[in-house]
Structure 1
């Protein structure tokens, strides 16, 4: 007697898997008037669509792989079941004896009947004895229900096909389902009818375990995709919120209003983008503010000489005689002076406009001692002062000789404006703490502490000029600072011992190489 645990069978049905299709990021729509309007999907929707595509592919792969594994296991289980049943029957034929006589079986009908009485097949398994007798074949079966709408003992045509099949095992496809079968032929000599033992495994009509598992996985996959839509939509919206704020803020920015900023929440890449955008807005606001101040100051400075020129031209006498000629000569002199001053202002403005260009400063190795001496010689022609060259730096530095000379001469000109005839002005250079310092020191009234930073701004001038003089446009020290910054250095204002001001150009150490 054989005892087995019940095992669920499988089918070979194929369940189609639907995958969401991708959408073109940009499409064109035709309006009622025939014009084409370009339409773009939002980044949030595109992220969601790609997420769904990836998840659908992943879930479909899982479903198909699981189905393949289950079908393979089911085929192995059916094959093992058929092989086990036929092996047990063959062993019974070789060794069994009739319980009534105690002798070996002599005819197939008795053999099949005794064997089937002792078997307990699984619900989807059918064991039959088939004997070809006249006038009709005899079917010996167990008195039990089979998990199939059409058992083989009621399907004579299928039994006939299996009995005539030359192979010992096979698969029979019927309208009611698939039947996997195996047979063992029985022969008892001349005069005995042909008989055989049949084992059949029916597909479960309500669906095999593989199909049920696939359907369950499909339902779970659908729920997972739906949940992914909801969660992905929310997460994508949260992640892209700063990007939307960037777009909204950029749309609301104008040249007159650059004060809007993006709130920063978190420390991820999107927050870093918001920080970078805010920093860009800070730079833009400063640039626009500087531009507005520059235009206002330039307009103010240029308006004064233009007004003076216009006023003198209007007062120019049209009379004849020596007095009128002298008046015209004086007017022309004043007008020429103002026009020269306007020309200098325009040249200085053009120079400052070149500060941001990469070729504003063109450094080259030069001997600092020779450069300092040249500046000293040129500065002596600026005024009747007691010029001194107390020290020079014996080193080589990467400097733009023309720009440094321009800055030093400008500082010397300022020193002349703040001193009187015979007062001392010192020009020199030195190495200090690995830096190169080029300086101009005067003995004038000096610079007030509250004006120390202001005097380097454009169109700003100090109030301590000799005799209250206010010549110039206030661009000289701005140019000096721009030239120094172009050399990656700085300009410093220091007090002069005994009174006065010392302006120092400081060049970084990496630009300097001391000469032995």
Structure 2
């Protein structure tokens, strides 16, 4: 086991202890927090980028204006072009009005000056920590620099600058016009907007927490009802149902859960009925066996008769148990083992076997010659069971027909008798376990009511079904309807 495995299990265990409502809200808050943070960061980045573009534009604008003035300006005192950088800078700066974070400075390299520079400035009352005009060292570096623009990173704050050198003539000292911008103000504005967005995001998250908690509770209310209803369900009480409201996915979930409960209730009811019927069917032969054994005397003839009755009842119990096991096996996937079978040969084999069940007017009504994928043993078992059922409800000499026919994409195998038939009210119940038709029960009907249920299970195992149809002239016809290409 790796070292990360215990941590993963702990996280999984903790996640299971958190309610679905809290998890939904937590994920919603995480997604919103990430989205809002991304928006705030993107806004700040965009503001800083715009500020950088504005500073670059401002530097280019001021230097271009000065360059044009140098080429086209005139000294107001002489009316001639400027030949001295000092009046040039003085006149130009007097006509400028810089932005709050901007400095316009004229520099003249004068060794005789105290700091080696003559400076001329035009600007507002700047609120920066230390204006560039007061930083003689930085001004000297800018004047001596071979570049016309750059960035100064000082302890007192960063400065973006650009300069226009003034060509010296007539022995004048080197000079330059410098534009300096302090970006701290623009960056502080971007930071203020960023902080404001964070504050708004925090308020939005708080509102989302409250609203999301309420909305998640309303959405998950049917789920809580499902959980509460499931906790109240017992094997004895499956009547609880969830109220369905609306037509959304939650309502569909409630309807599905209610349908599942309906199926469970029917299944448990059928199970209880099955157990009751099975107990009743087995209790009767047990009572008969016990009664005869308790009353059995010493007379050899009486003992022989008792043994015969006991063996018959034990055989009946054995058949009931075997039928129950067969019906239980019908739920397994290996109940049916299909293989290619010739229906004509199968029909003839069933007819031969059925003739031994009783003295009836047996007739082979027809045998279709087709090859179908089916389990011949199970189909034979079902057909023989139908033939046995026909024998039990007919008398000697009555007609019983066995046959098969091709009906489009289906194959039908049938057993038709000329007995009393089946009442309409019994047609739906005779295929259920331990159920017998009232009109067909008589002294000869000694079965447990499992034969037709087995026939139905075999037909459905082949992907088909069994039908009850009336026989022309009176009687009942049981038909196994199987698909030619059906796959069990």
TM-score bin (small chain): 0.7 to 0.9
> Could you tell me which residue of structure 1 aligns to residue 268 of structure 2?
288
Render the CA deviation track for 1:379-410: whole Å, top value 9, x for unaligned: 22222222222333233333322222212222
> Which residue of the other structure, out of 86, 92, 117, is the alignment partner of 1:115?
92
> Could you tell me which residue of structure 2 aligns to residue 140 of structure 1?
120
> Could you tell me which residue of structure 1 aligns to residue 177 of structure 2?
197
DSSP-derived class of the 1:359 partner: helix
DSSP-derived class of the 2:430 partner: helix
Q: Classify 1:206/1:372 alpha carbon distance in 2 versus 1 (closer, same or farther; 3 Å).
A: closer
Q: Classify 1:284/1:143 alpha carbon distance in 2 versus 1 (closer, same or farther; 3 Å).
A: closer
> Which residue of the other structure, out of 16, 23, 36, is the alignment partner of 1:46?
23
> Could you tell me which residue of structure 1 aligns to residue 3 of structure 2?
none
Residues 463 and 486 in structure 2, CA contact (< 8 A), matched pair in contact too: no
> Could you tell me which residue of structure 1 aligns to residue 294 of structure 2?
314
> Could you tell me which residue of structure 2 aligns to residue 8 of structure 1?
none
Q: How many residues align?
A: 478
Distance in 2 between residues matched to 1:414 and 1:25, nearest whole Å = 64
Distance in 1 between residues matched to 2:238 and 2:98, nearest whole Å = 85
Render the CA deviation track for 1:481-508: whole Å, top value 9, x for unaligned: 2222222222222333333222222223
Residues 26 and 38 in structure 1, CA contact (< 8 A), matched pair in contact too: no
> Could you tell me which residue of structure 2 aligns to residue 279 of structure 1?
259
> Could you tell me which residue of structure 2 aligns to residue 427 of structure 1?
402
- Describe how 1:72-87 pairs up with structure 2 within 5 A: 72-87=49-64
- Name whichever of 181-190 and 114-123 sits farther off: 181-190
* Cα deviation, residue 304, structure 1: 0.9
Q: Which has the higher helix share?
A: 2
Distance in 1 between residues matched to 2:94 and 2:291, nearest whole Å = 135
Render the CA deviation track for 1:145-189: whole Å, top value 9, x for unaligned: 335354344455554554455544333345553322233444645
Structure 1, unaligned stretches of length 5 or more? 1-23, 30-35
1:333 paired to 2:308: yes
Q: CA RMSD in A?
A: 3.2
Q: Classify 1:70/1:326 alpha carbon distance in 2 versus 1 (closer, same or farther; 3 Å).
A: same
Distance in 1 between residues matched to 2:14 and 2:175, nearest whole Å = 81
TM-score normalised by structure 1 residue count:
0.82
> Could you tell me which residue of structure 1 aligns to residue 4 of structure 2?
none
Q: Classify 1:490/1:89 alpha carbon distance in 2 versus 1 (closer, same or farther; 3 Å).
A: closer
Residues 420 and 466 in structure 1, CA contact (< 8 A), matched pair in contact too: no
TM-score normalised by structure 2 residue count:
0.86
> Which residue of the other structure, out of 367, 370, 391, is the alignment partner of 1:416?
391
1:349 paired to 2:311: no
Q: Classify 1:84/1:340 alpha carbon distance in 2 versus 1 (closer, same or farther; 3 Å).
A: same
Residues 361 and 400 in structure 2, CA contact (< 8 A), matched pair in contact too: yes
Distance in 2 between residues matched to 1:390 and 1:439, nearest whole Å = 9
* Cα deviation, residue 225, structure 1: 3.3
Residues 86 and 199 in structure 1, CA contact (< 8 A), matched pair in contact too: yes
DSSP-derived class of the 2:366 partner: coil
* Cα deviation, residue 338, structure 1: 0.8
- Name whichever of 131-140 and 304-313 sits farther off: 131-140
> Which residue of the other structure, out of 368, 384, 403, is the alignment partner of 2:378?
403
* Cα deviation, residue 290, structure 1: 1.8
